[in-house]
Amino acid sequence: MKILILGAGQVGSTVAENLVGESNDITVVDSDSEKLRQLKDRLDLRTLTGNAAHPSTLEQAGIADTDMLLAVTQSDEVNLVACKLAASLYNTPTRIARIRSADYLERKEIFSADNFCVDFSICPEQLLTDYIVKLIEFPEALQVQRFSQGKASLVAVRAFEGGPLVGNPLSFLHTHMPQTETRVAAIFRKDGPLIPEGNTVIEEGDEIFFIAATNNIRSVLSEMRRMDKPNKRIMIVGGGNIGRRLSKTLENDYQVKLIEYNKKSCEKLASELKNTLVLNGDGTDEKLMVQEHIGDVDVFCALTNDDENNIMSALLAKQGGARKVIALINRSAYVDLLQGGNIDIALSPAHITIGSLLAYVRQGDVAAVHSLRRGAAEALELVVHGDRQSSRVVGRRIEEIDLPKGATIGAIVRGGQVIMGHHDVVIEAEDHVIVFVINKAMVKRVEKLFQVSIGFF
Amino acid sequence: MKRVLTIIHALGLLLVMFSTAYVMPLVTSLIYGDSMMLLDFLLAMVWTAAAGVLMWLLTRRHKGELSIRHGYLLVVTMWTAMPAFATLPLLMTIPGLSFTDAYFETMSGMTTTGATALTGLDSLPPAINVWRHEMEWLGGLGIIVLAVAVLPLLGIGGRQLFRAETPGPMKDAALTPRIADTARNLWAVYAAMTLICIAALKWAGMDWLDAVCHGFSTMGLGGFSTHDTSVGYFNSPLIEFVMVVFMLVATINFASHFLAWNGKTLRVYWYDAEAKAAIGLILSSCLGIAVFLWWNGVYAEFMTALRHATFNVVSIGASSGFASVDYGQWPIFAPIWMLFVGCIAASSGSTGGGIKMMRTLVLVKQAGREFLRLLHPAVVNPMKIGGSVVPNNIVFAVLGFIFLYFITIATLIFVLLITGMDFLTSFSAVLACVNNFGPGLGMVGPASNYQGLSDFQTWVCAFGMLVGRLEIFTVLILFTPHFWRR
């Protein structure tokens, strides 16, 4: 597939990195040639320096035969104009734009085919905010991803002493709580993946991925570890786009303190937020943290633009006694370095964003893609079509399906009902199948398996 | 000197306009066939108009643009000169009335205070009663226009708070951009509401004269009545209910009424943080005092207690000053609490007096801010009222206002105490005059009036009304040397 990416910022370059690996022809356009040079050094793609909203630039970048346009520059306006141009001048089939401003997002008609012709808009800040909100809602989870409009969820949790399941084989889960349907999709032990079997024994420190109906999450979590008190006091460092959105979402249900370095931004934030306590100060100032009772904080989120600052303030907060610390870290090298250490959760904004983009880029009927473990693993929601003849999936029991090793069917959502992926469940057409893939390299094969053969049309 | 002549020029024009106000009592005396009254009012009208024309003609060479400084002087001279001319018909028709008492009466009307120095109101000629109530109505109109359109230009008055960014439909931009238009629109809203009020009072059982008079004094939040026993004369729950509703309406900022009228929506009131706080405070006080009176056995029936508490608390709380019973006889907590509510409850830009709810909100929030700052030294918390940020310089202006307000009240109380008045009377009289609600307690309680005061005491009270009505700064600024320096 030919893909044109406008903007070589964090989102642009991460998307490029992910898509290059999936054998696509990629061109990246940006006005900063230095950024492009760095990208070109690393990846096998074409780059072009220029204004992404000018038709001449787009033409040079080869928009005429592009299959998909990803407008992810810093500017909403440039992204909108680029999508409009692509649609009206070059008939580009798929147009995706990053739109941040709530002013645009509130009026959906702006994106329609009569106006700016945006097929799909993403807002990384919003995705990230939603992600953190879920983590705060379920304090025990490392990650919560939703499928089928939130009916089913995939949850990552680290097993700890105090959970009834720890030290027992997986089959114990079913005997211990027969009413609650859940399925363990994968276990990562000391960074190596395990294929879960009925006799696999859960050990302390295992990272467990399980799928359950969303309202059962809490009871399943309690099997894996001792339950924490629900979160109440939240401290956020950094009042940028994410910090502001997060405070706004949380402020009515939690006690939120927001620390921001810039006095002017503080005033703006304070006028916008209703119940958040806005503090002016440095996020790495341990005196300020102590003054604001860091020891009583349940969740500490370091969300500034600066990776090093986030790491430092998260470490300080942990040392000061914060129960759980979350740091926003852009550089993936840092993320791998830190997760599981003193920093409880290291968030990579690019990986959270990319999931929703990937769902559009992939062929087949993919309803959702979630990138897991910093992009090493993936969870896909695939829609099944066809019948027993045209599809290799429909009408077969799960154990009959020729899934690659390391891929598991976690659950099936059928007409609003969440059915766990037991070996004897028969898949029907129009089911949403949630597949967990331990290794990203297998994604292609899984997708192929679920595609309808040509004869169907 | 030149500045003063310019002011006199403008004042002359205003007086000519003011002389047209005599049309109401003239019409009344025609209806009642009272030729003596007709003559007196015609004479007063001619005198006022002639004085105005004379002032205007003599100073026409000094016609000029009015600057902001002129504004203070004009407003104060207007509010002292008009009551002076308005005394003419009173002096001509009521035998034995001193100029002091007459001026007190007209000042009380123009400032919508409603304190009276006259007795035998029931036997006054209808035209005089109409004149007294019309002054309250005009005073109310004047203060709305002043508070909404003029004072913000001078940089005082609670209304300036709304010039800060206000969310939703409360944006200042929704009022018309020109002062003259704004004033005209406010006039229309005010007049329309008064007509509805008069019709409602007539429907509730008053005769036309009483309905017109009480309609005027209700919308102006004045408190004059055509009867010595005030609203207690009617002894009608329905009339009391109608008046309560319209008094509450009049305590809301007229800019909100105007926006609601213009946009045909009641949503405006929901965004008016000041109105919500004011109405909430007044209504909860009604209920609280009703329970208090019932508990203390003042009224055996709870519903009776609720009826009297509601009417009198709304009346004093909204700074009108009607009375349906002698609440001076209630246990002391109730009347003192009513005075307290009267000091703070009315909205800025309404016809009510006192500190104004907007300033009260600012003060309360400022106190909260100080507490928060002590607990969290690094906190950034701008003051927000109704979701919009109030800049710090306005907070300081409000703090300055409150300081002057208390100094004024304390000084006037001391002055009255020097003259030998008892504490309760002087305290309540000063509060009642500065906050423009009228009846106080003790010697000036709801069952009696200000007639028993000496001339000097009467002048002190009249001065208090003026200072309170014009938001203190406007009057006191004239006494600063800087004002007169070039």
**Is a pLDDT exceeding 80 seen at residue A60?**
yes
Q: Is B389 on the interface with A (CB under 8 A)?
A: yes
User: Residue A385's pLDDT is what?
Assistant: 79
> Both B72 and B184 in a single domain?
no
**Is a pLDDT exceeding 50 seen at residue B155?**
yes
Per CATH, is A235-347 categorized as 3.40.50.720? yes
Chain A residue at shortest CA distance from B374: A291
Report the residue from B376, B382, B389 with minimal CB separation from A279.
B376
Give the whole-number percent of chain A exceeding pLDDT 70. Answer: 95
DSSP state of B146: I
User: Residue B164's pLDDT is what?
Assistant: 32
Report the residue from B378, B382, B389 with minimal CB separation from A279.
B378
**Is a pLDDT exceeding 50 seen at residue A457?**
no
**Reported confidence tier of residue B486, pLDDT bands at 50, 70, 90:** low
Question: Taking Cα atoms as reference points, which of B353, B339, B473 lies closest to residue B413?
Answer: B339
Report the residue from B372, B376, B380 with minimal CB separation from A267.
B380
How confident is the model over B1-36, as pLDDT tens digits? 567 788 888 888 888 888 988 999 999 999 988 888
- Whether B435 is in a domain gets the answer no
Give the whole-number percent of chain B exceeding pLDDT 90. Answer: 42
Here the ipTM equals 0.73
Per CATH, is A128-224 categorized as 3.30.230.10? no
Phi, psi of A257 (to 5 degrees): -115, 135
- Whether B469 is in a domain gets the answer no
Chain B contact set for A280 (CB, 8 A): 378-380
Question: Taking Cα atoms as reference points, which of B222, B219, B224, B225 lies closest to residue B243?
Answer: B219
- Whether B162 is in a domain gets the answer yes
Say if residues B130 and B25 touch (Cβ distance below 8 Å).
Answer: yes
CA distance B166 to B173: 10
Please, which residues bridge with residue A417 across strands? A414
Chain B residue at shortest CA distance from A290: B376
> Both B222 and B303 in a single domain?
yes
Beta carbons of A278 and B384 less than 8 Å apart: no
CA distance A294 to A271: 24
User: Residue B56's pLDDT is what?
Assistant: 87
Q: How many CB atoms lie within 10 A of CB B353?
A: 29
Q: How many CB atoms lie within 10 A of CB A20?
A: 17
Q: Do domains A128-224 and A359-456 have the same CATH topology?
A: yes
Rama region for B34: left / alpha / beta (φ>0; ψ in -120 to 50; rest): beta
- Whether B472 is in a domain gets the answer no
User: Residue B168's pLDDT is what?
Assistant: 31
**Is a pLDDT exceeding 50 seen at residue B170?**
no
> Both B106 and B45 in a single domain?
no
- Whether B334 is in a domain gets the answer yes
Transcribe B272-341 into DSSP letters.
Answer: -HHHHHHHHHHHHHHHHHHHHHHHTTSSSSHHHHHHHHHHHHHHHHTT----SS-GGGS-THHHHHHHHH
> Both B316 and B397 in a single domain?
yes
User: Residue B296's pLDDT is what?
Assistant: 92
Residue scoring higher pLDDT (A372 or B243): B243
Beta carbons of A279 and B379 less than 8 Å apart: yes
Dihedral in degrees, nearest 10, Cα atoms A146, A151, A152, A157: 60
Say if residues A2 and A74 touch (Cβ distance below 8 Å).
Answer: no
Say if residues B227 and B322 touch (Cβ distance below 8 Å).
Answer: no
Which of A20-29, B62-71, B342-351 is least confident? Answer: B62-71
Q: Which residue, among B372, B379, B380, B388, would best test binding to A if mutated, counting the most A CBs under 10 Å from its CB?
A: B380
Phi, psi of B80 (to 5 degrees): -100, -35
User: Residue A376's pLDDT is what?
Assistant: 73
Three-class secondary structure of residue B383 per DSSP? strand
Dihedral in degrees, nearest 10, Cα atoms A111, A114, A119, A122: -10
Strand runs (DSSP E) across B75-154, as ranges? Answer: none
When divided into structural domains, chain B yields a total of 2
Beta carbons of B380 and A270 less than 8 Å apart: yes
User: Residue A446's pLDDT is what?
Assistant: 81
How confident is the model over B410-463, as pLDDT tens digits? 999 999 999 999 999 999 999 999 999 888 888 888 888 888 889 999 999 999
How confident is the model over B249-281, as pLDDT tens digits? 999 888 888 888 877 778 878 878 888 999 999
Token representation of residue B280: 């909430």
Q: How many CA atoms lie within 13 A of A358 on its CB side?
A: 30
Which of A57-66, A175-184, B290-299 is least confident? Answer: A175-184
Phi, psi of A282 (to 5 degrees): -90, 135
How confident is the model over B287-321, as pLDDT tens digits? 999 999 999 989 999 999 999 999 999 999 998 88
How confident is the model over A324-342, as pLDDT tens digits? 899 998 877 787 777 667 8
End-to-end CA distance of chain B: 11
User: Residue A339's pLDDT is what?
Assistant: 64
**Reported confidence tier of residue B172, pLDDT bands at 50, 70, 90:** very low
CA distance B219 to B350: 10
CATH of A2-122, one of 3.30.470.10, 3.40.50.720, 1.10.287.3510, 3.40.50.300: 3.40.50.720
Beta carbons of A270 and B378 less than 8 Å apart: no
pTM: 0.77
User: Residue A453's pLDDT is what?
Assistant: 61
Q: Is B205 on the interface with A (CB under 8 A)?
A: no
Min Cα distance A132 → chain B (Å) is: 24
- Look at domain A359-456 and name its CATH class: alpha beta
Question: Taking Cα atoms as reference points, which of A438, A370, A365, A371 lies closest to residue A146?
Answer: A370
How confident is the model over A115-156, as pLDDT tens digits? 888 888 888 888 888 888 888 888 778 888 877 777 788 888
> Both B26 and B149 in a single domain?
no
Q: Is B379 on the interface with A (CB under 8 A)?
A: yes
User: Residue B1's pLDDT is what?
Assistant: 59
Chain B residue at shortest CA distance from A257: B379
CA distance A421 to A250: 34
CA distance B246 to B195: 11
Domain locations along chain A: 2-122, 128-224, 235-347, 359-456
> Both B139 and B239 in a single domain?
yes
Three-class secondary structure of residue B124 per DSSP? coil
> Both B51 and B154 in a single domain?
no
Q: Taking CA B417 as the corner, what is the angle to CA B414 and CA B422, rounded to the nearest 5 degrees?
A: 140
Token representation of residue B281: 């405070």
Domain of residue B244: give its range. Answer: 98-114+125-401
Overall average pLDDT of the B50-64 stretch = 86
- Whether B157 is in a domain gets the answer yes
Min Cα distance B390 → chain A (Å) is: 10
CA distance B269 to B475: 32
Say if residues A227 and A192 touch (Cβ distance below 8 Å).
Answer: no
Question: Taking Cα atoms as reference points, which of B392, B406, B405 lies closest to residue B362?
Answer: B392
- Please say which residue of B385, B401, B417 terminates a domain: B401
Beta carbons of B376 and A291 less than 8 Å apart: yes
CA distance B403 to A168: 74
The one-letter amino acid code at B474 reads T
- Whether B8 is in a domain gets the answer yes
